[in-house]
Amino acid sequence: MKYIAALFLLFISAFPAHGAESLTFSIGTDKRVMTAPQLLADPKTRDISIADPSYKKTMHYRALPLSALLAGMKLPPDSVIEAVANDGFVAQLPTDLLLNDKTGAAQAFLAIEPPDTPWPALPGKKASAGPFYIVWLNASASGIRSEQWPFMIAALRSADSPAKRWKELAVDPALPAAALIRAGQALFVTQCMACHKLNGAGSSAAGPDLNLPASPTEYFKPDALKKYIRNPASLRHWDGMQMPGFDKDALSDHEIDLIISYMEHMSTTRKTAK
């Protein structure tokens, strides 16, 4: 009986929220599940038009400001909101960015796919960005990055900030505060950890760990690694490949170098035996 129950659980968890159109919140001690119609009925929901980097065109959404959605939920100090997608992607979104409603700053919204008028499929994918998708107005004002637009969201949960939660990501404390490797670390957390772990740390396992057992900086030629991050399909491609390319808007040449310098640093300070 237990066995059947376990099988059943496995079965339902293998087919998460898609189609169920509900969003699970666990923010601090606040836990709730809300459906798309409930969220659409919120009077703070409004129409917005977005220059959408995922659809690569202007899109129109019914959307709820994140600041309104999270109002009243108690956010633990030094925390981030993890947006958990139903494909294994987990974005770490700094709460100060999400809650910022100052004029001039980027504003985060939860776009809600209306069950009766679904959005189109994303370019190169079979599914839309729904049921829930975090989009930004005025994104460039706060330097919002390409991986901070998580789509196909099933859950929003609060968690300690990555630096506090995972000492495995830390650089050598002897590095000066302004060291470029530290800038590379911040970029790595935002742009890469939505899919990759490093030293076993991270919330997603959509892609391989990038330091265990070995770092790509040890087995890719430097130029090839840079080329791969810019456009993985330029080195090898197959139907099931998942890693997105990062064009120059997503990461400049200099920023890719910073990420690689962080990865290199982490490989040379790796404590775990290969």
Residues that bind ligand HEC (CB under 6 A): 89, 147, 191-192, 194-196, 206-208, 210, 216, 228-229, 232, 241-244, 246, 259
C-beta of 108 vs 195, nearer to ligand HEC: 195
Q: How far apart are CA 204 and CA 201, in angstroms?
A: 9
Least distance to ligand HEC from the beta carbon of 180, Å? 16
Could you tell me which residues come within 8 angstroms of residue 75 by beta carbon, excluding any fewer than 6 positions away?
27, 28, 81, 95, 99, 158
Least distance to ligand HEC from the beta carbon of 260, Å? 8
Tokens of 118: 């679904």
C-beta of 3 vs 238, nearer to ligand HEC: 238
Residue among 219, 197, 215 at smallest CA distance from 206? 197
Least distance to ligand HEC from the beta carbon of 89, Å? 5
Rounded-to-10 torsion of CA 259, 264, 266, 271: 160
CB 153 within 8 A of CB 109: no
Tokens of 5: 């129950």
Least distance to ligand HEC from the beta carbon of 35, Å? 27
C-beta of 9 vs 233, nearer to ligand HEC: 233
Could you tell me which residues come within 8 angstroms of residue 166 by beta carbon, excluding any fewer than 6 positions away?
199, 201, 202
Least distance to ligand HEC from the beta carbon of 263, Å? 7
C-beta of 115 vs 244, nearer to ligand HEC: 244
C-beta of 28 vs 200, nearer to ligand HEC: 200
CB 142 within 8 A of CB 165: no
Largest CA distance in the chain: 58
Least distance to ligand HEC from the beta carbon of 272, Å? 17
Q: How far apart are CA 140 and CA 128, in angstroms?
A: 24
C-beta of 118 vs 208, nearer to ligand HEC: 208
C-beta of 33 vs 241, nearer to ligand HEC: 241
Neighbours of 241 (CB within 10 A): 10
Least distance to ligand HEC from the beta carbon of 223, Å? 13
Tokens of 52: 């959408």
